[in-house]
Structure formats: C-alpha cells, structure tokens
Amino acid sequence: MPDKWIPQEIEPKWQQRWEASGLYRARIDHSRPKHYALTMYPYPSGDLHIGHWYAMVPSDTRARWMRMRGYNVLFPMGFDAFGLPAENAAIKHKIHPKQWTYANIERMRKQLRSMGAMFDWERECVTCDPEYYRWTQWFFLKLYDAGLAYKKLSPVDFCPTCNTTLAREQVWGEDRHCERCNTLVVKRNLEQWFFRITAYAEELRDFSKLDWPERVVAMQRNWIGERSEGAEVIFRTEQGDHPLPVFTTRPDTLWGATFMVLAPEHPLVAELTTPERRAEVEAYVEQARRLADIMREAADREKTGVFIGAYAINPVNGQRIPIWIADYVLMTYGTGAIMAVPCGDQRDFEFAQKYGLPIPVVVAPRDWDGQPFSQAYEGPGIMVNSGPFSGFPTIGKYRLEEWTPELAQQYGLPAQLTSQNEGRHAVTRWLESKGLGKFAVAYKLRDWLISRQRYWGAPIPMITCPKCGIVPVPYHDLPVLLPEDVEFMPTGESPLKFHAGFRRVQCPRCGGEAERETDTMDTFMCSSWYQYAYMHKNWRAGEPVGPDAIPFDPVEGDYWLPVDQYTGGIEHATMHLLYTRFFTKAMRDMGLVKFDEPMLRLFNQGLILGEDGEKMSKSRGNVVAPDDLVQQYGADVVRGYLMFGFRWEQGGPWSSTGVLGIQRFLERVWNLVLETADLPLTGPDGSEQEAAVRQLQRRQHQTVRKATQDMESFSFNTMIAALMEFTNYLIKARETPVVHTPAWKEAIRTLLLLMAPAFPHISEELWERLGYAYSIHQQAWPEWDPELASEEIITIVVQVNGKLRDRFQAPADISEEEAKARALACAGIKKYLGDQTQFKAIYVPGRLVNLVTG
C-alpha cells in the first residue's frame, strides 16, 4: 500500500522548491518563441477571494501549458495598490492607508503563493511604490508635453454633509445619495485634469489587429460611438465678449440658430446672468445639480430651461440670440454649450415652442409651401434665408460618399454633389475662410477625467505659479512623493491641500513662490501601463530620468512585448481596456514602442456565484473562502474544481460536492500511479496482449489530442473530463496483463504530463516518485500520433432473420445505437425487409447486427 496523498504536506514543499530553484523566473531566450501571458492584477483588499482564484488559476494553467509546448513564458503578478478603499478603511479603522495597503499586500502574497501558480515574483510591481508611481507621473508629463493633457472646469459629485467629493461608486441609488450618510449628493465645479483620449477615437474604433471577444469589441465601439463630422463654430457673448465654441454636425443650419443653451454648470452662467433673472437661474441650477447625467439626457424626459438674460451673437448673420440654460446639456459633453436650431432639430423645436422662441425656416424640403413648420425637418433639402448660401442643396446628416442617385431622386436634389456645391461642406469652408469656425469631428467618447480629490493616489506632477501659470514639475525631480503625515479625514477638499510642506513649492521656472497640484491621479492611470512595468523591475531605480527615458528595460521590452494573451473580467471592457489601448497608441507616437495594441488576445472569464446561485456576499453568508478550502483539500483540488465545475467564460454557482469529486479523482490518480509503479515488466505475450497494448496506446493518444485541443480553446472543463475518463480506463486496464508492459509506463507518464498544468503539485510529486528528473514543469507537452489515435476499423455483418445480407465498416468502439442505425441504412438489406416496419435489432458488439422481423 502506498502512503496517503496529503496535499497539505506536499504542496508547500514543492512551492518552496520551485521558488528556490528559480523555476518560474522568465529570462530572455532567443532560441524559443516568447509568450507573454498576463492576468489582471488584484487590488490589495487584504483577502484573496474565490473570484481571484477563478480568474488566475485557469490563466496559470494555460501559461504552464504554453511553456510545456516550448514557449518561453512570462507570467507576472503585482498589485493595483492605490485607490479609495484604503482611504475608507483608514478612516474607519484609524490606520494609515499606506500601512493598511502594505499589510494587505503581504498577506495576499502568501495567499497567492498557496495557489501554486508560476508567477515570476522577481518582477512584482506595486503601484503605490514611489519607484512605480514616479513613472506614472512621468507618463503624465509626457502626455502633457504631447498636448494630450489639459485642465478644465468640470463637475464632481459632492456630499454637503460629509463635506467631500465622492467617487462614482460612492453615489448610491436612483435618488443619488451618499453611501456614508444618505444625504442627496450635488454637483460642484472644479478645475480638473483630462487626457485627450478622443484624439485617438478613430483608431480606437479599429479592432483589426486584435483577437478579442466580440462582446468586448461591441462594448468599446458603443462606448466610443459613431464618428460625426461637422464644424466648431465660435459664438461670442454680447456682454464681456466671451468666446462660446459650439460643435455642430449641421453648420448648414447656422442661419436658423435662434438661441443658445448652456449646461447649468457652465462657468460663464454666474457671470452672464442678469440681476433680474438671477433668482430663477440659481434655483434652476440648484435643481439640475441634483440630477444624474443619465436622467438629464433621457430622450423621453420633458425639456426644461431658463433664460439667463444674456445674449450671444450669431457669427454668420450678426443676430442677437438669447442664452438659456437647460439640464439636458451636460458640461462633460463637448464645450457645454450648444446652438439651437428649432427648424432642424425636433428637441430644439419643442423647446422653442414651449418657451415662445422664433422658429425661422433655413433648410426646407424641395416641395415646401413657404408656411411655418409644424415640426422640425431634419432631412436633406434646400437652404433658404441663409445669406450667400440660400438656394444651396444640403444633404443633411448624410455623408457625401453615401449620397446616391436614389437619395437624390427621393429628395428632389441634384445627384452630383461635391464639397463645393453642397451646403454643409460649403458653409464649413466658408467659416474657415472667415475665421469663424473650422471642420471638426466628434464622438460619443469623452476625454478621460483623471483628477481625484483624494489622498491615496499618485500626486499630479504640476505646479501653479502666480507669475508663470501652470508649470510642469521637471522630469528629474520625479517622483513627487506623496507625504505620509497627512490628515486624510474628509474635509471637502483634496487632503494634500492642507499639507503646507507639500503644497508650497518653488516655481521651477521663475523661482518664486508657487503651489503644487493637490489632486491625485485616477488609479486607472497606474493600470494603463502596468504590463510595461513588469519589464521594469529596478530599471534605473533611484536615477533621475528625463523626457527621453524609457519606462521599461528596452532589451526586456523588445523581447517580451506586447502581451500575447490577456485574461480578466468583462467589467473592464470599457475603461481599463480602452485606457491601456490609448496609452499604447500615445506611446507609439512618442516613439516608445513599435506596435499599436497592448494586448493581442483577450479572454474573459465568468463569475463564480454562491452555492445558492446568488452573488457571493458577506451579508448573504454564501462566501466561499479559498484559504479554508486550500487548508481542507489542498490547492490542486481547488484549482481542479474551478476548472472542471464551470465553463470558464460562464462561471456559475459553487458546489461543495463538486469539490469532493475532484478530490476523489486525484486520490484515484495517486493510488493508481503508486500502486502500479513497481510492477515487473513481463513484456507483450501473444496477440491478445498486442491488441491490449494497441488499445491502451489508442486511448492515450486520443486523450492527448482532446486535452491539446481543449487547452487551445480554453475548454478546461472538458480537458479535465478527458483526464478523468483516461484515468477510469487505466483503472480498469490495470486488472489486465497490459499493466506489465512498457506501454503502461508510457501511459502513466503521459497522464502525469497532461495533469501538470492544472495540478502542478500532485503531478510533480508523482513524477519524482516514479524516478523522473526534476521538474515535470520543464518537460514537453505530449504529442499525439493521428495514426495511433485513430480507431481500429472493423467489419460488421448485417443479417436479416439470421441470414447474412450485407456488411459495413465502422470504428471498433461504435455504439450499439450507431451500429443499428448503420445496419438499417445498408442498401443491401432493403429488399429483404420489404414493407416490414416491425422488427427487432440485435447487436453483437464488434461483430454483427441481426434484424428479426415478424
């Protein structure tokens, strides 16, 4: 009897040996193809939950498999360590966010190691390390230098009771209340930093170089929105002559713009509002602050607004037009101001009707009778009352390349239209020539707001000088260290604002007294470049860097980049996965990388639910803790169940009995391998033995084929099912003399190799006990021979009432059902069966089918 399998003993032993021997250190090796496998790094919440395991274990299994197939595999791990939870925990438990975060990281490192994954810990990155965020700040400066970072007034959610700005996830419910005190939140305007991701909108809509799930591609396309072409036109205010740039897709309707609408948060509202309108305007602004953007934009909501008493000048005809505010215009969209053309836009039409504003006609259908419109006309037509352009045909929202003879006929307009004689294009060119506007393109995508009024993040490396204005921190002064002695309890302002030692700084330009930016960066900024940071460990540590530095070791980067296989949750479809693509494209344009996309292939795993089928949560009491499971069953069992119990992309409810099934499977493998390890070889003996060996090899090669195909397609559940079937087959076969042949040893060896990626500990232990050299994880994945995997072909005879009438060829393992169906389909038996529909079919396995009538 072999000793018992005790995973709690063998697993830590192997984990230590792997670490000590540097088994998973990824080193450049030009003799092998490289494979950069990346799984999303965790936030250090302090506890590795089953969702982390579910994401990481199959990723590890596949990375191990690629390694066995001859690839030089890099599989790194790190921590996304800045962010709000650390601050909240600190406020709750009166412990410093830094202390809280690093203690959690320490704990999670241990938990991650218990998984037995092939992470290369030498490359670990922690985004709150100054050596890491120095480069995050470096990226900020590079984007600023490239004209891709700018500051603008923008609203944030604010809780008047807690006196603090809130992150999106801290605003709860349809009534938008504060997560902490239930007070209804309001909007407040702050000067904030944005990245010009919209500059790459067109390219970000192109997925031709990516092998990504269709669902993620669709979500990103929808997030970015369709390209809409038009013009940016500058209106000016009558009082104060402030420029009000407006984007319009219909510059051909400019002569019909009879009022302007600003977002209630627009910075000019307070200044432009006349004293007699002030009370009403302020009440309206107050009310709009309370509404969520999504409600304000809802199409079916009645549009409301207030005249602020001020006027703008329509640049094309010099007309005074009233300025209104309305909550359906958002500050975050474009410039926060729109021109309203009631005759050409139904929403503007209804607004004009409701408030008694003029509705002159400027684009009319061909057969217009000259009467006032009863609703807006948005289609192609003829420009009227439009100064030098009256009489021009216009194609409305169509693009020139879409303009067909059929459309021309439908609208009664010329078929031959060009940018010279078509109204919308001609007006744009005219605006450009007069300096009143320019051609512009817009998307639904907004620029990326990266300012956070929070403590636990990377400080934005900018300085404001009363003399020089905004001045970037010089590159060689990075990092701008986050001070530790900060009061981070909520005050309504960025905590760094109250740290005089941090805030006050000498202006790098004039040497005078200046102030640092006190907001910190969105943590999505840290994760936009972390795949590069893994090539970076200790790269130029401590040395000052300039604008021409490279944020990773260039030799490492040349070899490993870009990421070949990325894995992670679908919840990152739009933000993280879009931001990191933006970063990579900007890096390419800075000459830092030569490729266009950061992660070539992506796979999204599903979600593990509680045993009750509900989302796991402490309050429901359905949380499955991986630490407990590892203690009870060992990591290999947990790994195996997470891959066998679910289709990876789907997930599903946890099952305790399912875990036991994997435990039994591994016990059976353990006993089978050890109990047949030392049997004497007696060799093949006679033809029956030969057939048995042939059968054993067939099963082995079929299993290799199945496991290989399943690994390729991320079908871990069916891969493990194939290993179980093979094991069951071997358990039966061990009762036969085949157990004494070299083929048996080969079959067992193959089983262990196939198990190695999914069950790294037990396979390593058995490998060693069978006397093979360390390590199983440095062996090649088994090959399958199509010849040996093919089924033996046999001849089956078909009888009708006991008399031989036909025969057919079939694989030896044909099922009874299939054999009977094939027999009935034989051409030779038709005439013997005649009209008989009542008969019995008897199958003698591997030999004959007898059809008995009557």
Residues in contact with Zn ion by CB under 5 A are 159, 161-162, 178, 180-181, 183, 465, 467-468, 507, 509-510
Q: Which is nearer to Zn ion, 178 or 753 (CB)?
A: 178
Smallest separation (angstroms) from Zn ion to the CB of 474: 13
Q: Which is nearer to Zn ion, 397 or 509 (CB)?
A: 509
- What is the rounded CA–CA span in Å between residue 460 and residue 463? 9
Short-list 362, 264, 266, CA closest to 305: 264
Short-list 683, 794, 695, 701, CA closest to 754: 701
Smallest separation (angstroms) from Zn ion to the CB of 160: 8
Q: Which is nearer to Zn ion, 461 or 640 (CB)?
A: 461
Structure tokens given for 729: 């087959």
CB atoms within 10 A of CB 97: 27
- What is the rounded CA–CA span in Å between residue 420 and residue 291? 44
Q: Which is nearer to Zn ion, 488 or 784 (CB)?
A: 488
- What is the rounded CA–CA span in Å between residue 703 and residue 90? 53
Smallest separation (angstroms) from Zn ion to the CB of 515: 11
Q: Which is nearer to Zn ion, 474 or 661 (CB)?
A: 474
Three-state secondary-structure class, residue 806: strand
Smallest separation (angstroms) from Zn ion to the CB of 422: 50
Smallest separation (angstroms) from Zn ion to the CB of 509: 4
- What is the rounded CA–CA span in Å between residue 796 and residue 810? 7
Parallel, antiparallel, or unpaired for β 320-325 and 259-262? parallel
- What is the rounded CA–CA span in Å between residue 454 and residue 522? 9
Distances (CA, A) of 330 to 146, 152, 221, 263, 451: 27, 14, 22, 5, 19
177: phi then psi, degrees, rounded to nearest 5 = -110, 165
Could you tell me if 151 and 449 are in contact, meaning their C-beta atoms sit under 8 angstroms apart? no
Q: Which is nearer to Zn ion, 292 or 468 (CB)?
A: 468
Q: Which is nearer to Zn ion, 515 or 768 (CB)?
A: 515
Q: Which is nearer to Zn ion, 88 or 717 (CB)?
A: 88
Smallest separation (angstroms) from Zn ion to the CB of 546: 21
Q: Which is nearer to Zn ion, 161 or 801 (CB)?
A: 161
Residue 694 CB contacts under 8 Å (≥ 6 apart), including other chains: 792
Smallest separation (angstroms) from Zn ion to the CB of 492: 11
Smallest separation (angstroms) from Zn ion to the CB of 184: 9
Quick one: CA dihedral 653, 654, 657, 660, positive or negative? Answer: positive
Smallest separation (angstroms) from Zn ion to the CB of 256: 46
- What is the rounded CA–CA span in Å between residue 833 and residue 823? 12
Q: Which is nearer to Zn ion, 469 or 546 (CB)?
A: 469
Smallest separation (angstroms) from Zn ion to the CB of 596: 39
Q: Which is nearer to Zn ion, 162 or 329 (CB)?
A: 162
Question: Could you check whether the bond before residue 775 is cis, i.e. omega within 30 degrees of 0?
Answer: yes
Smallest separation (angstroms) from Zn ion to the CB of 157: 10
Q: Which is nearer to Zn ion, 183 or 404 (CB)?
A: 183
Smallest separation (angstroms) from Zn ion to the CB of 504: 13
Smallest separation (angstroms) from Zn ion to the CB of 505: 10
Q: Which is nearer to Zn ion, 180 or 769 (CB)?
A: 180
Q: Which is nearer to Zn ion, 465 or 756 (CB)?
A: 465
- What is the rounded CA–CA span in Å between residue 699 and residue 720? 15
Q: Which is nearer to Zn ion, 161 or 421 (CB)?
A: 161
Could you tell me if 236 and 318 are in contact, meaning their C-beta atoms sit under 8 angstroms apart? no
Smallest separation (angstroms) from Zn ion to the CB of 186: 11
Short-list 334, 350, 332, CA closest to 342: 350
Structure tokens given for 432: 């450009």
Could you tell me if 198 and 443 are in contact, meaning their C-beta atoms sit under 8 angstroms apart? yes
- What is the rounded CA–CA span in Å between residue 755 and residue 750? 9
Write down the residue that tokens 């008399």 correspond to.
803
Three-state secondary-structure class, residue 627: helix
Q: Which is nearer to Zn ion, 178 or 482 (CB)?
A: 178
With residues binned 3-state (H G I as helix, E B as strand, rest as coil), the percentages for the chain, rounded to 5, are 40, 20, 40
Smallest separation (angstroms) from Zn ion to the CB of 582: 31
Residue 588 CB contacts under 8 Å (≥ 6 apart), including other chains: 594, 595, 596
Rg (the chain; Cα; Å): 35
Smallest separation (angstroms) from Zn ion to the CB of 177: 8
How would you classify residue 310: left for phi > 0, otherwise alpha for psi between -120 and 50, otherwise beta? Answer: beta
| DSSP string of 223-276, one letter each residue | HH---EEEEEEEEEETTTT-EEEEEES-GGGGGG--EEEE-TT-TTHHHH--GG
Q: Which is nearer to Zn ion, 161 or 790 (CB)?
A: 161
Smallest separation (angstroms) from Zn ion to the CB of 616: 27
Residue 382 CB contacts under 8 Å (≥ 6 apart), including other chains: 363, 364, 365, 366, 368, 391, 392, 393, 394, 413
Three-state secondary-structure class, residue 297: helix
